[in-house]
């Protein structure tokens, strides 16, 4: 009897040891991607997927984080959103791709197809991490908020945060106000646009409008502008967002519109 008890004890111990080793191997494998983060930063998700040939995520959840989106991936499917290994990816300018909202996919296969072209901004790996939801609070504007006053006040105190940085920083701060119209201002040669004008509208009161003129660090080629300007002309749509958000701001001025 004691012999069989010892056998069961040894087998149980070996099982736990094997499970612990498997957990360690999985964690070490995933940690490689975190340690080699520089290889994936600025690259599409497809680059990471090609290298991830041993294990694949089973569950995922996507949500907005400030002006970016992040996705939590789990690699062991015990029950929904309780995987023991989690990789969190923050996407670079994800809300400026095809739509304002990045959908949370129910399966890894759908995510691999939908997310493959999204660019990685940051990634991290954790063991036994909890699932969490970010609670977002809207910026305090209402129908009486004047677009010009709001932008003018911000530029007077925070212009240093805008200059010599990507236009994305300003677009991020501007929300929930909208950029609705755009007009490129060309130089005498008519081949490059050193400036671009944008109309800003309070979404709760469209009569509260302002105009900003942005000086770019590097003039934009007319040929590049014509590539996206085939449809909707001067409307500021998602394609134009994707085009402008990475441009570097040299200077910015705001004007009141009646």
- Cα 84 to Cα 25: distance, rounded to the nearest angstrom: 13
State the DSSP code for 161: G
Q: Distance of alpha carbon 30 from its chain centroid, rounded?
A: 22
pLDDT for the residue numbered 100: 45
Identify whether the C-beta of residue 217 lies closer than 8 Å to the C-beta of residue 250: yes
CA dihedral 88, 118, 247, 155 (to 10 degrees): -40
pLDDT for the residue numbered 139: 65
- Cα 188 to Cα 148: distance, rounded to the nearest angstrom: 29
Cβ atoms within 10 Å, residue 131: 13
What 3-state DSSP class applies to 238? helix
- Cα 124 to Cα 141: distance, rounded to the nearest angstrom: 34
pLDDT for the residue numbered 245: 82
Listed as own residue / partner, the contacts of 222-227 with beta carbons closer than 8 Å and 24 or more positions apart are 222/186, 222/190, 222/191, 222/192, 222/193, 225/184, 225/193
For the stretch 89-138, pLDDT in tens is 988 865 444 444 455 555 666 666 778 888 898 999 987 666 666 655 55
Q: Where are the domains of the chain?
A: 37-136, 147-257
pLDDT for the residue numbered 153: 93
What 3-state DSSP class applies to 24? helix
- Cα 194 to Cα 19: distance, rounded to the nearest angstrom: 61
Task: Tell me which residues of the chain have a pLDDT lower than 50.
Answer: 3-24, 81-83, 95-101
CA triple 190-191-194, angle to 5 deg:
85
Count Cα atoms within 13 angstroms, Cβ side, for 66. Answer: 10
State the DSSP code for 160: G
pTM of the model: 0.60
Identify whether the C-beta of residue 185 lies closer than 8 Å to the C-beta of residue 197: yes
């Amino acid at each position: 009897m004691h012999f069989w008890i010892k056998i069961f004890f040894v087998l149980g111990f070996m099982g736990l040891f094997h499970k612990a080793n498997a957990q360690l191997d999985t964690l070490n494998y995933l940690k490689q991607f975190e340690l080699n983060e520089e290889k994936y930063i600025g690259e599409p998700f497809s680059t990471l997927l090609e290298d991830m040939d041993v294990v694949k995520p089973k569950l995922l959840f996507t949500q907005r984080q400030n002006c970016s989106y992040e996705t939590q991936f789990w690699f062991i499917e015990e029950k929904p959103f309780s995987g023991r290994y989690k990789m969190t990816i923050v996407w670079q300018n994800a809300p400026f791709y095809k739509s304002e909202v990045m959908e949370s996919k129910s399966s890894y296969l759908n995510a691999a197809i939908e997310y493959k072209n999204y660019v990685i901004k940051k990634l991290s790996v954790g063991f036994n991490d909890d699932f969490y939801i970010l609670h977002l609070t809207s910026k305090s504007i209402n129908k009486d908020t004047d677009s010009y006053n709001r932008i003018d006040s911000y530029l007077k105190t925070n212009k240093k945060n805008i200059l010599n940085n990507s236009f994305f920083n300003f677009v991020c701060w501007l929300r929930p106000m909208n950029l609705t119209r755009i007009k490129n201002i060309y130089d005498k040669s008519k081949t490059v646009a050193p400036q671009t004008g944008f109309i800003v509208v309070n979404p709760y009161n469209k009569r509260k409008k302002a105009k900003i003129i942005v000086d770019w660090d590097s003039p934009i080629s007319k040929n590049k502008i014509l590539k996206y300007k085939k449809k909707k002309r001067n409307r500021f749509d998602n394609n134009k967002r994707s085009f402008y958000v990475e441009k570097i701001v040299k200077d910015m001025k705001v004007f009141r519109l009646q």
